[in-house]
Structure 1
Amino acid sequence: MPYEGELAGYEPLRRVANTERIKTLLGRSKVRDNKQSVTHLPKIERASIEPSKYEPSMVIAIDGSTIPVEVETGYPGAEMGYVTVASVFIDLEKARKLDEQRPVNPVEFRKTQSPESIDSAFPGCNVIVDKEISAKSSLRKVLYELMESVRIFEDGESLLDTYEALLAFKPDRNEDKQKCPYYGQYDNNCIDEKQKFRNQKRAYYCHCMYGRPLYSTDALRIHEGMHPDSTNQSVFTEIMQILERLWIVHILRNLEAKGWMAILRKVAMVVDGPLAVFGHPAWLSHAIKMELNRLNEAAKEFTDEQDILIIGIEKTGAFVNHLTQIDYFVPEKKRNIIPEQTAYLLTDDYIKRNIVYSESKRPYGRQTYFGRKFFYKTRSGALLVATLPFLNEAHEDLAQAHPSQFPRLADAMALLDQLVSVQHPNSLSPIITAHAEASIPLNLGKRVLEKMARELMRKM
């Protein structure tokens, strides 16, 4: 690693380029067969499948943002992570009417949007709260307290209640891998290695001689990725990820508790990123899938047997890059490869051969996804990588790809046509709006948050 301000010369670059070992490695690397394209996938034109009679009149968009900020605690590298997750309720009917009266009045358009957000700061390296023994135990406590305090309706269940409903679906095999969060933090280990760690609900105490506090949220295992002496951006990103995904289930469970499931006939949820949970809390993906299955069946009673509509949208990554690459321009046809308003339904075989190479027999994303992907080129030519949820076992069979395995595919395609934005390439307006509510300006945000952190530290 260079010193600050130190620039590299060109000699190492020349030497690396001419190194025989590197040339040999590049020559041995597998190269994708460019003849394999989306033409091998099931292709669905929007006009060929019948949409439901319920056109969404409201979209709930969810996006998050996180930024690490250095704070002054007297210890080097002290850091906190500011995390915000925004959900924006967009009245599509009003937006459509305004769209007919172009140019649209920005003030009136803003009235079609109602934002909500979760905003919090989390301890990172060398930040200790209250009487906790470490930054790691401080993070665990603050995460639990946040989820206990957040709720979408004042008289509804908390985000912690939602999470603990999902905790009931946690596979037992994951508990075998989990150790007490205090393990290894003392001169003597705080738990007998022969005993299995068992999660409980709410806050409770370790049964060992130390009797330290434990939390139901410890099952997320986010604290296991925490570095005691360097930045913890990956930890803060995992927290943002679980808050975004939990918020989907939280909204649906609260609607169920209120007896308002009928409104799901006219509501769509659009989430930034794929319908998946990665990293330490990946088990949550299975739990969300199970709970969505239950909620969907409960909703059908009030929606004329219509599935709920949830769409995950990827902005970047291997799938986005692949879709962009294969939709190249063909001069003789004077058009791109993929026709407008056409979806390609991805299979496990296609993904492993063309996007994320693998020879594993386990289906792609088996332990991390609670939905499956498809490519869609909208009416305006935008290229989108979308995910629709697994709402029954048949949807999970990635060996094949039929429209019936993608719940409300026709409605999703129609909605994506409506939501495309010209503000950014291949973007959706609800995701842009949610991101604007959630994002913290990188430079200005750091200065403001650093100042706020310093003031708070002085008062402690």
Structure 2
Amino acid sequence: MNFKSRANHSQIINDDYIRAFLSGCRFPKKPGPDAVSGGEILQAIEKVDLGLKHLLTVDGSYTVVDVEKDFPSSQIAFFQFGAILFTTDDLVSISDLPFISPDDMKALQNLQRIKLALPVKNVVSNKSSSLNESIRKSIYDFFMREPSKESSLMETLSWLIFARYLNEPDDSYELGTNPNLGAAEGKVVLKRCEMRADYTFPNEFGDIYLTDVFRLHEVIDEEFGAVGILGYLSRLVEQLILFHYVRIIYQSRPSVLGDFVFISNGPLSFSGQTANMHKVARRCANHLLDKRDLNLVGIEKNGPFVEHALSICKNESGAFYLSRNSFLILSNHYIYSYITPGDSNRMHYGATSYYGGKVIVHTEDGQVFVITIPVSHADVIKKPKVVEFRNLDLIINVIRLLKCDMYKDSIVPVAMASKLISLTNHPSVSILGNFAKDLSRKQ
């Protein structure tokens, strides 16, 4: 650190405003010994006879590359999503391995890679007239094409949006804004009877794609680009791929749906503009749990909940300790008291984005997980009950089978999916960048 840098730091440190600001901030705190009293549930893990279970996990990765050396503002994003199918039998024999290579698992031949390219900034694709239109069309084409034209994500999206799993599906869906107008203009009612075979709707200002229900068009800026939507889109696609396979199994062999465990890399939630999708996801999950059986779980690898979980699973004098072979269902009060500072009387965690409730799991062998399990409605986390977290014991018993040290406190399917579809390492970025540049020169 040079002298000027140290001097600038001193200016910050000694500033009265900065000191007053920091002294007034509230940060996450460690819970005291009597922390579990606000409605959360602390309970021992009960062993469950699993039988043979099939595990399907999905993970996604994306990277942004510059297309032209002389125009670094022109950017394209490349996404890759991986879906892997395992069985509990595949994993029992390798659960203690410190590192798992593709050769260790025959089940890796079940890996399916799904790819998406998206203009991000200062790029217009195909015959589109704007960046917004380019992104909308690219997402629409992706949903029509993947995983296959015979059984596409678009079909699954329609199944969710109009609740086509019911005997009497919904007739319409209200879209908050018209994608052909300004960012906050013109509500549109999408009528199922008006939906064409290609999942588009006629509108006086231009056709509307079914994928416009994601509302990503509201945050695309023609000048500053759309980097901000990439994380939202990645999480959205990961979960819709899971629901895609849920739909296929439910429609073809509903009796075996309970033999599958669907694992999402991250919480069961939708972020940003896509947050409204949590409503259709919860409605579908509730139906499947009532009519059949749905084993769906989101597992977090990092973030404040994971940091908190690790801190309470270390036995420190004077602090609350989550003992091994137990789990803690988090209440709204607990979350705002110890994990995300806030007023639990005025705030409702995840009410507009989550379709599940959070649980911290400390296994018999010391593994620590933060998981999300579907719950019937948002108010469950205010005063949670174990009975509201359906199939929790089964899911925890599956997860603790899957120890993997490839990533700390991760599990085999998620770790393998992350490793095999990652686009974030430097060689991948360089290769994709050169590929995009070569193609652009040939135009």
Same fold (TM over 0.5): yes
Q: Shift in Å at residue 412 of structure 1?
A: 1.7
* 1:371 and 2:339 matched: no
Residue 304 of structure 1 corresponds to none
Output the CA distance in 1 between the equivalents of 2:158 and 2:329. 34
Query: What amino acid does structure 2 have at the position aligned with 1:66?
Result: Y
Contact 1:199-1:219 within 8 A present in 2 as well: no
Q: Shift in Å at residue 168 of structure 1?
A: 2.7
Q: Shift in Å at residue 105 of structure 1?
A: 9.8
Contact 2:61-2:80 within 8 A present in 1 as well: yes
Match of 2:222, SS state, is: coil
Output the CA distance in 2 between the equivalents of 1:12 and 1:389. 49
Q: 1:272 to 1:99 in 2, by over 3 A?
A: closer
Q: Shift in Å at residue 33 of structure 1?
A: 6.1
Q: Shift in Å at residue 164 of structure 1?
A: 1.9
Match of 1:385, SS state, is: strand
Residue 218 of structure 1 corresponds to 212
Contact 1:84-1:240 within 8 A present in 2 as well: no
Residue 179 of structure 2 corresponds to 180
Output the CA distance in 1 between the equivalents of 2:257 and 2:4. 57
Work out the number of aligned pairs and report it.
Answer: 425
Residue 306 of structure 2 corresponds to 320
**Alignment equivalent of 2:104, drawn from 89, 95, 109:** 109
Q: 1:117 to 1:104 in 2, by over 3 A?
A: closer
Output the CA distance in 1 between the equivalents of 2:405 and 2:161. 41
Post-superposition Cα deviations, 1:107-157, rounded to whole Å, max 9, x if no partner, equal 6632123111211100111111122111111010010011011136x64x3
Residue 449 of structure 1 corresponds to 432
Residue 42 of structure 1 corresponds to 41
* 1:244 and 2:238 matched: yes
Output the CA distance in 2 between the equivalents of 1:171 and 1:322. 44
Match of 1:292, SS state, is: helix
Match of 2:257, SS state, is: helix
Contact 1:223-1:235 within 8 A present in 2 as well: no
Q: Shift in Å at residue 403 of structure 1?
A: 1.8
Q: Shift in Å at residue 318 of structure 1?
A: 1.4
Match of 1:282, SS state, is: helix
| Residue segments in structure 1 that go unaligned for 5+ positions in a row | 1-5, 185-190, 301-306
* 1:398 and 2:381 matched: yes
* 1:87 and 2:83 matched: yes
Contact 2:30-2:311 within 8 A present in 1 as well: no
Which piece of structure 1 moves more, 106-115 or 419-428?
106-115
- Identity, % of aligned positions: 20
**Alignment equivalent of 2:19, drawn from 23, 28, 40:** 23
Output the CA distance in 2 between the equivalents of 1:122 and 1:56. 39
Match of 1:183, SS state, is: coil
Q: Shift in Å at residue 296 of structure 1?
A: 2.9
Output the CA distance in 2 between the equivalents of 1:387 and 1:56. 23
Contact 2:66-2:72 within 8 A present in 1 as well: no
Residue 400 of structure 2 corresponds to 417
Superposition RMSD on alpha carbons, in Å?
3.1
Runs of 4 or more, structure 1, over 6 Å off, are 102-105, 169-174
**Alignment equivalent of 1:196, drawn from 187, 190, 202:** 187
**Alignment equivalent of 1:11, drawn from 3, 7, 11:** 7
Q: TM-score, normalised by structure 2?
A: 0.86
Q: Pairwise mapping of residues 142-153 of structure 1 onto structure 2 (< 5 A)?
A: 142-151=138-147
| Residue segments in structure 2 that go unaligned for 5+ positions in a row | 164-169
**Alignment equivalent of 1:430, drawn from 380, 402, 413:** 413
Output the CA distance in 1 between the equivalents of 2:202 and 2:45. 55
Contact 1:167-1:287 within 8 A present in 2 as well: yes
Output the CA distance in 2 between the equivalents of 1:93 and 1:168. 37
**Alignment equivalent of 1:292, drawn from 275, 278, 285:** 285
**Alignment equivalent of 1:358, drawn from 342, 352, 355:** 342
State the structure with bigger RCO (CA 8 A, min sep 6), 1 or 2. 2
Output the CA distance in 1 between the equivalents of 2:352 and 2:182. 26
Contact 2:172-2:189 within 8 A present in 1 as well: no
Which piece of structure 1 moves more, 269-278 or 398-407?
398-407
Contact 2:367-2:409 within 8 A present in 1 as well: yes
Q: TM-score, normalised by structure 1?
A: 0.83
Match of 1:71, SS state, is: strand
Output the CA distance in 1 between the equivalents of 2:321 and 2:392. 22
